[in-house]
Amino acid sequence: MEQNLIVLHSKSRPPLSLLPHNSIQFECFTSTRVYANSINVSVTKRSHSHPKLLDAQLNQLCINGPLNEAVAILDSMAQQGSKVRPFTYMNLLQSCIDNDCIWVGRELHARIGLVGKVNPFVETKLVSMYAKCGYLKEAWKVFDEMRERNLFTWSAMIGACCRDHRWEEVVNLFHDMMHDGFLPDEFLIPKIVQACGKCWDFETGKLIHSLVIRCGMCTSLRVNNSILAVYAKYGEMTCAKKLFKSMDERDIVAWNAMITGFCQKGEIEIAQKYFDVMQEEGIEPSLVTWNILIACYNQLGHCDIAMDLMRKMESFGITPDVYTWTSMISGFAQKGWIYCAFDLLKEMFLAGVEPSDITIASAASACASLKSLHMGLEIHCIAVKMGLVDNVLIGNSLIDMYSKCGNLEDAQRIFDMMLERDVYSWNSIIGGYIQAGFCSKAHELFMEMQESDSPPNVVTWNVMMTGYMQQGDEDQAFDLFQRIEKDGKIKPNAASWNSLISGYLQIGQKDKALQMFRQMQSFHIAPNPVTMLSILPACANLLAGKKVKEIHCCALRRNLVSELSVSNIFIDTYAKSGNISYSRSIFDELSTKDIISWNSLIAGYVLHGCSESAVDLFDQMRKEGLHPRRGTFASIISAYGHAGMVNEGKKAFSSLSEEFHIIPGVEHYIAMVNLFGRSGKLAEALEIIQNMPFEPNTFVWVALLTASRIHRNFGLAILAGERILELEPGNTITYHLLSQAYSLCGKSWEAPQLTKLGKEKAIRKPVGQCWMERENLVYTFVVGDQSKTYSDKLHSWLKRVAVNVKAHISDNGLCIEEEERENSSSVHSEKLAFAFAFIGSHRPPQVLRIIKKLRMCKDCHDTAKYLSLAHGCEIYLSDSNCLHHFKGGHCSCRDYW
């Protein structure tokens, strides 16, 4: 008789024939015996084995296999009308799990009707079989079709979703099982709590904690540790501390959770205390514990303490692993100590610890941030020797390193050689071309990327927009912005808006930047700290005070001021918009201050002429142990000059190099020229310019020209003006000042040889123009303007004021001014603004804020002083050289501007 052999798929042997899912019977012939250890199963149709014998054979197959023979035996039982015991069937399913044999598992599922009594345990095992073999969809199908479920069923499904990292489904299953009247046990709770932590569902985590308390599971260390880990992850350290103290037993896992939580919040001192107490209580720190602390110290920039900890752990007999070394190398790299990072990398090799791809990528990123091509080449060589050059992470970091070092050829070469590319690979090479200014090449790659397996993400679009903005092509950038959602099927994020806002500011389009900021909020895109840092420079002027307050309210609502960088820029912007008191309030409320916080407020006080406050703040900063930086010295020397403290200013300048080892820069020499200039020591001002270790720039000579103007040393003014013209031949204001200076010295002046275009520029007279804000409207005034409403009233009022000014303020003689002298038809723009403000309102304004294009003349300065005294008001006027604050007949500049 012809023999028909059935061969089913087995994990240990390649399949020769696959059984369809819905197959029910096999026809088996020949021998009357079933060989449990044979691949081929043969059963005669005429003789039937005893059901108990077949059941025993099935159980034997579960132990010794081959498992695929079980299907034929089940079919034989079906022919005899026999049933298989549930226990035997579950053993078969467990064997499928153990051998990862989904094919046999499916055939067993197709024959579930042979089970004597299908109970929830059988179905639960079927769910487990599908789930553990990696077929979660089929596990869900069985689970959903179950008529009755028990705790084990829910546990199987929750465990399956945990293994597949489907955390939200785990949380949903927990709520469903509670709705069905089942409470999780102490073995299931840690899995659900873990899911809560992974999907940031803190509310469910708290619910589970209350459930644990009510059900009396508080003594379970495993349960307590899982809840503790969630509290720590969310930064809820108050709750974590309460739970930790209530625990009868604490193991290394509990201590690590507490230390991790405080480290994540940046509270390293408290974390260190727990670390010390843990040892006092007899719990030895594990490698994980040491790594948690070391990583935290490195992230906070305390690399020296982290290094001490690493050496200390070695003295405890714990060998640093690759995570420890990588953390240290990354810490030094972020700190900018690239040579120390490289020394550690070499030491790591000598210690026999093989770097991971993250180690190499961190080192390459350090080279990129410092633009150190030489070091980057060494890292590339190490990656090649270790055979990691094909690693996507390392390839991306090398592309970034070569791009930032300006070596686009090598960056492109690595990109072309990569066997696998992800979106970061494309973004790195596109970003490199953007940074180098090659937008056309970047756009070409951008188009290729759209056809690749890694289409552009929102970062790619943002990089392209930034590139076009940097090139001044705002139309192309805005076109990309409008196409993100349509072409890229991606919604613009906060960074997309930030790209446009900062781009418009870079090209001088402040109004468009503010307009984009308003639109961003109308589209319900939440501003982030970068948004604040991008938009606030647009408001750093006297007319934007209200706008700064609006943005500040927005930042407070979103708790953005908790970022120190955001608070620092508000300190700076409030000062520049004329609200130094607001700057001080923000400064005083800061829980932590960095050098930028101190520098911003000191510079603000100097801007407002509050030299005493600036000096006091500088002394306070020194007492608190902060070392002044370059910017600090530029501000404090200016403050000493403003206060007439020449000797103190000279000492500060000397200490710059002698005590703090800072090489003086041009900003410090400008401050010194102003220091001497204010006190009338013009010879010393000229001497310090002549002794500068580098060539003075325009700003240095402008400082000397200012001093010469104020003290009416027209000969020195001529010297400074001529030097300015040598550096800036087209400076029309300097031509105008030089012409006056020569005239006042009784000399004729022949202008230098100029091109035709240069002569045309030189002939043009500087036109005075100013802007004033009143009742949320900005008004523009131009010198000699006769078009304003009630122009006659304005001029009539100004004539009366002029009489009073002459009566109160004496004229000290002739001086040189940037603006043409006034006559009956050409009144200066700020005077028109004064008149408009005082006669155009029902009551005199309490505060006036004006921005002027040129430097104020002495007559307008005297007028502002008089008005502030006569009307009891404050006038803030920012000209091209100084912020004037007029109050009570005095100006914050102390008549030096």
- Give residue 19's pLDDT: 30
- Give residue 536's pLDDT: 95
Q: 278-287, 351-360, 784-793, 800-809: which range is least confident on average?
A: 784-793
What is the percentage of the chain residues whose pLDDT exceeds 70?
A: 89
* Cα–Cα dist 302/470, whole Å: 36
- Residue 192: pLDDT over 90: no
- Give residue 808's pLDDT: 76
- Give residue 18's pLDDT: 29
- Give residue 65's pLDDT: 66
* Cα–Cα dist 597/820, whole Å: 41
Q: Are 232 and 258 within 8 A, CB to CB?
A: yes
Q: What are phi and psi of 774, to 5 degrees?
A: -145, 125
- Residue 354: pLDDT over 50: yes
- Give residue 674's pLDDT: 96
- Give residue 140's pLDDT: 85
- Give residue 349's pLDDT: 86
Q: Are 425 and 395 within 8 A, CB to CB?
A: yes
Q: Are 137 and 147 within 8 A, CB to CB?
A: no
- Give residue 811's pLDDT: 66
* Cα–Cα dist 446/431, whole Å: 10
Enumerate residues 6+ apart whose C-beta is below 8 A from 530. Answer: 494, 495, 498
- Residue 789: pLDDT over 80: no
- Residue 259: pLDDT over 80: yes
- Give residue 38's pLDDT: 34
* Tens digit of each residue's pLDDT (9 = 90 or more) over 594-632: 999 999 999 999 999 999 999 999 999 999 989 999 999
Between 823 and 739, name the one with better pLDDT. Answer: 739
- Residue 766: pLDDT over 80: no
End-to-end distance of the chain based on CA atoms, in angstroms? 118
- Give residue 608's pLDDT: 96
Chain-centroid distance of CA 223 in Å reads: 35
- Give residue 578's pLDDT: 94
- Give residue 46's pLDDT: 33
* Cα–Cα dist 773/485, whole Å: 39
Map 208-238 to HEC letters: HHHHHHHCCCCCCHHHHHHHHHHHHHCCCHH
* Tens digit of each residue's pLDDT (9 = 90 or more) over 694-738: 999 999 999 999 999 999 999 999 999 999 999 998 888 888 889
Over its C-alpha atoms, the chain yields an Rg (Å, rounded) of: 40
- Give residue 648's pLDDT: 96
**Average pLDDT of the residues in 279-292:** 90
- Give residue 667's pLDDT: 96
- Residue 421: pLDDT over 60: yes
- Give residue 13's pLDDT: 29
What does pLDDT average to over the chain? Answer: 85
**Average pLDDT of the residues in 639-647:** 96
- Residue 429: pLDDT over 50: yes
* Tens digit of each residue's pLDDT (9 = 90 or more) over 60-115: 767 666 767 777 777 677 777 777 788 877 878 888 877 777 877 887 787 777 77
* Tens digit of each residue's pLDDT (9 = 90 or more) over 150-162: 888 888 888 888 8
3-state secondary structure of 780: strand
* Cα–Cα dist 537/553, whole Å: 17
Between 29 and 182, name the one with better pLDDT. Answer: 182
* Cα–Cα dist 41/29, whole Å: 9
**Average pLDDT of the residues in 179-200:** 83
**Average pLDDT of the residues in 791-795:** 81
pTM of the predicted model, to two decimals?
0.69
Enumerate residues 6+ apart whose C-beta is below 8 A from 90. Answer: 121, 122, 125
Query: Which residue has 């969310």 as its token pair?
Result: 234
3-state secondary structure of 346: helix
- Give residue 45's pLDDT: 38
Q: Are 570 and 586 within 8 A, CB to CB?
A: yes
Between 781 and 234, name the one with better pLDDT. Answer: 781
- Residue 353: pLDDT over 60: yes
- Give residue 7's pLDDT: 32
- Residue 332: pLDDT over 50: yes
**Average pLDDT of the residues in 384-405:** 89
- Residue 206: pLDDT over 50: yes
- Give residue 370's pLDDT: 77
- Give residue 64's pLDDT: 67
What phi-psi label fits residue 820: left (phi over 0), alpha (psi between -120 and 50 degrees) or beta? beta
Widest CA span in the chain: 137
* Cα–Cα dist 196/867, whole Å: 66
Q: Are 733 and 836 within 8 A, CB to CB?
A: no
* Tens digit of each residue's pLDDT (9 = 90 or more) over 495-534: 999 999 999 999 989 999 999 999 999 999 999 999 999 9
Q: Are 392 and 361 within 8 A, CB to CB?
A: no
